[in-house]
Amino acid sequence: MNITMKDIINKHSKSIFWVCMILAQICVGFLFKDLADISQWFIQSPRESTMLVWYNRYLLAFVGLVAFFAVLYLKYKQRDIINNKPLIFLSLLFCFNFYSGMINPHIMMRARMDNGVFVSVEQATKYYAPNESVIVLEINGKARAHSDKQLLRPHVVGNGELGGENVVMTYCGLTNLGMAYTPEINGQKLDLAPMNQLENNLVMYDKNSGEPIQQLWGQKEADRNNSVDAKMREWPTYRMPFEKFAKAFPEGEVFVNDYLVEDMKASFWENPFLAIYDPIMELIFDHAIVDQATSVDPTFPTIKHIDTRLPNKELVYGLNIGDDYVAYTVDFVKSHDKPINATVGGKEIVVSYDYEFESLGIFYNTTGETLTEIDFYGQTPYGKLPRVETVKAAAYWIIWANFFPETDINRV
């Protein structure tokens, strides 16, 4: 008697159904757990797990989809294999986890690396409050301002060159940090987009290579794991109120999130999905950011190293020169009548707070002198000084100290 594959399937169809269903749910469960971002409110995945899932996401998605369609086929062939209600529930669970891990992050955090919208200072008064904190990027006399609110969901913003340099602003609301980079490593151009967050800091990825890049490191995951030093070039950034930016750089540019502001975002009739979806995402993101700012604990409980030398959510201006890391608080810098002269990584720096522009600046002291005066622009009696490019302006202490536990505090 010949037994065919069809006979075997018919005989064991219920077992095959549940094996395929379990396999499908496991595959998309990993995608949700490690790549859905929002999942880390509830599930804390180690970095190794997240990276393993990221590198194998297409395989997991493929296997999950094949297994799920096998489930649907078996249901079609044998209607009584499972009742409709549990099948509908399990199907919705599968679709939700698949969408959350593979699709939603790319819609939720739509990068503006090459097509960011920048307006004049005068036009920006329509979108920015006078006292709204902006992250400033200044290159060769050209300046751009970006507010936390406008940066929150694109995460990566640019539109080509600034001051003759190819540069993008990256932003993590959980860290309260904007960092400017030239998007290339070893001459290879990168196409950056948000991936998710790890330890409350943005992880991007390069669309060209698929490699994850932690914002605070500016380095490909594979390179860091193999002790390769190659990373993106970092540019100086600092903070000040918008009205002070307008005073300092009246010809400057200001970033506006075109899918946030009323007169730029798509209307319901132009794109009904985004018209409903984006406000919901804004509420979720706003909740996470407010929680991060007001709670003692981090929004995502994934911090490995807690340093109690400062309050968790103290805003610090961290920098490094080589392997020497230092963080300054605004109150400490303000408590000094004169600029702070210090040595970091064997180089002299000067730290000062400018009351006119309400901005903390950290500069390389190339004068060979102990400085007692310096203005917002870096001008001293001995000439103009360059800003330190590694300054992380007003990042949360708990995250800075977690990534750089060797950091010193308020060095003089």
In the chain, what are the domain boundaries? 5-108, 117-256, 315-409
Least confident window among 213-217, 273-277, 355-359? 273-277
Tokens of residue 93, six digits: 């669970």
Gyration radius of the chain over CA positions: 25
The total of other beta-carbon atoms located within 10 Å of residue 87's CB is 16
Average pLDDT, the chain: 93
* Distance (Å, whole) CA 213 – CA 204: 5
Closest CA to 259 of 99, 115, 105, 103: 115
pLDDT at position 1, please?
Answer: 46
Q: What is the mean pLDDT of residues 107-111?
A: 90
What is the per-residue pLDDT across 341-399, written as a single tens digit (0 to 9) for each?
999 999 999 999 999 999 999 999 999 999 999 999 999 999 999 999 999 999 999 99
Q: Confidence class of residue 25 from pLDDT cuts 50, 70 and 90?
A: very high
Confidence label for 301 from pLDDT (cuts 50, 70 and 90)? confident
**Beta strands at 408-409 and 324-329: parallel, antiparallel or unpaired:** parallel
pLDDT at 162 over 90: yes
pLDDT in tens, 46-76: 899 999 999 999 999 999 999 999 999 999 9
Question: Residue 100 corresponds to which tokens in the numbers above?
Answer: 């959350």
Reduce the DSSP state of residue 172 to 3 states and report it: strand
Q: Does the structure show a pLDDT above 60 at 139?
A: yes
Q: With 70 as the cut, is the pLDDT of residue 10 above it?
A: no
Quickly list H helices, 109-220: 121-124, 148-151
One DSSP character per residue, 344-378 reads ETTEEEEEEEETTTTEEEEEE--SSS--S---TT-
> What are the tokens at 145?
């301002």
Q: Tokens in use for 372?
A: 């007692």
Element (H, E) at 330: helix 330-334
Global pTM?
Answer: 0.92
Decide: helix, strand or coil at residue 156.
strand
Instruction: Give residue 39's pLDDT.
Output: 74
Instruction: Give pLDDT, residue 265.
Output: 85
DSSP code, position 32: H
